[in-house]
Structure 1
Amino acid sequence: MDKIRLTAVSYLNTKPLLYGLLNSTLAPQLDLELNIPSVCAEKLTRGEADLALVPVAVLPELDNPHVISDYCIGTVGAVKTVCIYSDVPIQQVETVYLDHHSRTSVQLTKVLLRDYWSLSPALLPAKEGYIKKIGGRTAGLVIGDRTIGLEQQFKYVYDLGAIWMKHTGLPFVFAAWISNRPLPAAFVRRFNKALASGVAQIEKLKYLLPSPHPDFSVEEYFTKYISYEFDAAKRQALKHFLAAIADKTPAISVAGL
C-alpha cells in the first residue's frame, strides 16, 4: 500500500492524536505534515492530501468527503482556545477581526452573531499582528495556541464553545478527520486504534508537553475543554452546524450523519 498523505492541525489540542499515530505500527504508512487548520483544508481540497484533520466548515466544498474517524477535535461546552476578545461588551462592539487560521471558527462566529446575539458588527479578515489591534469597540476572534494567556489582557472573553452550548444545547466539532476518497477498512480500523491509544496517554503527555503559560494546565485542557470522541451527540451537532451555514446539509459519507 502506498503511503497515506496526511496533514493535521499543528495546535496543542492535536498532540494526543498525533502521539497515538506516531507511536503506532501505522506510522511508517503515513506521510505526515503539520499545518494551521486553513492550510490543512486547502491541501485536502486541492487533492494534496489523502486524509486530513480539517475544520469541518470545509465539508461543503469537497466533492466526496468521508469523515472516517471515531475521533475529532471537539468540545462539550467551553473550549478555552476559540474565543472573541474585547474591551467592551459584545453588544457594544462595532468591528470584529476574524482569525484567518480556521474557517470553522469564523463560520461559528457568524452564526452566533446572527442567531444568538442578533448582532451585525463589521467583520474584517485578520492578518498577522491583528491581536494588537483589538481594543475599544474592536473585538477579535482568536483561536488555537495564540489564545493562551489572552484572557488576562481583555475584560470580556466570549468562549464560542460555551456560547454554542447555550444556543443549541449541543457539543461542537471544530475539526474532523476527513478523506477525499474511500480508504481501506483495515487502514481505518488501525487508524482509529492508534488515535484511541493517543487519547489514552493524556496522563503521560502532561509530563512530556511543557505548559505554554504558567497559568495553563495541559492536563486540564485535554480533559476538561477538549473532547476527542466523535460520538452521536457530536454527529448531531455537526449536522446542526452545517445546516446553519448552508441552505441544506451536504451529503457526507459517515455513519450516523
Structure 2
Amino acid sequence: MRFSVVDYLNARPLIWGLLEDPPPGVPVSRDVPSVCADKLASGEADVGLIPSIEYQRIPGLRVVGGLGIAAASEVRSVLLVSNVSRERIRTVALDPASRTSAVLTRLLLKRRYGLEPQYREGPGDADASLVIGDPALKARLNGHVVLDLAAEWRAFSGHAFVFAFWAVRPGVSQARAEQVVRASYDAGQRNFPRLVAREAAGSGLSEAVVEDYLRHSLHYELDAGDLAGLDLFYRLAAEDGWIERARPLELTLPG
C-alpha cells in the first residue's frame, strides 16, 4: 500500500506516524497537494492526502473516514495577497500546487465580491497572488490587502472549509487504509510537543506560532458541519464549471 502525503506543516499531525514509524511494506512519498492527486489518479499511489476538489475529478475514489485538514475560520496559510484594493483586482496569479485553493479563490471573488479577474498559474506580475502553505505563514504582509480564504468562506457560507482529506483508489482496502491513517494521526497527537519543537526548528517559526496554528487555526477530525460545507463547495464548483458534477461524498464519520 503506497502513500502520497502533503509535505506541508498543516499536514504534520496527520502524517507524523507515517513519516516517523511507517508500517512495514508502506512506502511514503512526500509531495505537494497537486502531485498527491496526480499520483492517486495515475496509480503511482494507493492512498493520498488529496486536495478536496480532486475527489470530484478522479473516478472511483473512496474517502478514508473522518480525517482531513479543515479550518473553521482564519487559516493563515491560504491567502490571497493583493497589491491593490480588492475592487481593483484584475489579474490573479494562482499557485498550481493547490487546486482546491485555486477553485475557492475563483468562487469567492465571483460570488462574494462580484469579481471575475484574469487568472494564470505560477508567479509573475499580477494584482493579487494566491500564497499557500508555509510561505503564507512567513509572508510579510504589511502594505498589502490580504484575504484569508477560509475566513472568507466562513463569512460567505457559514461553514468551515475542508482543504484536504485522505482517499483511496478502487481495489485498495479501505479498512486497512483507515487503520494506517488513524494510527499515524494518533501518533502525532501523542507526540505533539515533539512535533511542534521539530517543526519550529525546521521552519524558522516560533514554537508558539506553530502550536497555535496547528491547534487553533486547523482541525483534523471532520464533523457533519465540515461535510455540509464541502457539499456546498462542490455544488458551487459544479455550477461554475470547475467540476463536471457534484458527486456525493461516500463517507461515514466515526461514532
TM-score normalised per structure 1: 0.88
The structure 2 residue matched to 1:142, chosen from 111, 131, 151, is 131
Residue of 88, 92, 100 corresponding to 1:92: 88
> Residue 190 of structure 1: CA displacement?
4.3
Cα offset for 1:202?
2.4
Deviation at 1:58, TM superposition (A): 0.7
Aligned to 2:229: 237
Q: Distance in 2 between matches of 1:34 and 1:200?
A: 22
Q: In the alignment, is the contact (CA less than 8 A) between 2:64 and 2:174 conserved in 1?
A: no
- Equivalent of 2:186, from 196, 199, 220? 196
Alpha-carbon offset, residue 112 of structure 1? 0.3
Give the RMSD, CA atoms, in angstroms.
2.0
Alignment of structure 1 residues 106-255 onto 2, 5 Å:
106-127=102-123, 130=124, 133-134=125-126, 138-181=127-170, 182-210=172-200, 212-214=203-205, 217-247=209-239, 248-255=245-252
Contact 1:16–1:201 at 8 Å: present in 2 too? no
In structure 1, the residue matched to 2:58 is 62
Q: How far off is 1:109 after superposition?
A: 0.4
8 Å Cα contact 2:50-2:166 kept in structure 1: yes
Q: Distance in 2 between matches of 1:59 and 1:190?
A: 20
Residue deviations 1:175-218 (CA, integer Å, cap 9, x gap): 11011124252442343133133134323322222253456711
AA partner of residue 11 (structure 1): Y
Aligned mates of 1:255, 1:90 — CA distance in 2: 39
8 Å Cα contact 1:164-1:171 kept in structure 2? yes
Matched, 1:7 2:18: no
Range moving further from structure 2, 99-108 or 148-157: 148-157
CA distance in 1, matches of 2:71, 2:190: 17
Counterparts of 2:164 and 2:210 in 1: how far apart (Å)?
19
Q: Is the 8 A contact 1:86 1:154 kept in 2?
A: no
Aligned residue in 1 for 2:15 = 18
CA distance in 1, matches of 2:116, 2:168: 35
Q: Distance in 2 between matches of 1:144 and 1:34?
A: 14
| Contact 2:188-2:195 within 8 A present in 1 as well | no
User: For residue 50 of structure 2, what is the amino acid of its counterpart?
Assistant: V
Tell whether the 8 Å contact from 1:69 to 1:192 is kept in structure 2 after alignment.
no
**Matches of 2:55 and 2:4, distance apart in 1:** 16
Counterpart of 2:159 in 1: which secondary structure?
coil
Match of 1:97, SS? strand
TM-score (norm. length: structure 2): 0.88
- Does structure 1 residue 40 correspond to structure 2 residue 30? no
Matched position secondary structure for 1:27 = coil
Q: Measure, in 2, the Cα distance between the counterparts of 1:239 and 1:23.
A: 34
User: Kindly tell me: are residues 214 and 194 of structure 1, through their superposed partners in 2, closer, same or farther at Cα, counting changes over 3 Å?
Assistant: closer
CA distances 1:190-249 after superposition (whole Å, capped 9, x unpaired): 431331331343233222222534567110110111111122111111111111111442
Identity %: 30
Q: CA separation of 1:187/1:61 partners in 2, compared to 1, >3 Å: closer, same or farther?
A: closer
Secondary structure of the residue aligned to 2:24 is helix
**Structure 2, unpaired ranges of 5+:** 240-244
Is contact 2:14-2:181 (8 Å) kept? no
TM-superposed CA distance for 1:77, in Å, is 0.3
**Counterpart position of 1:71:** 67
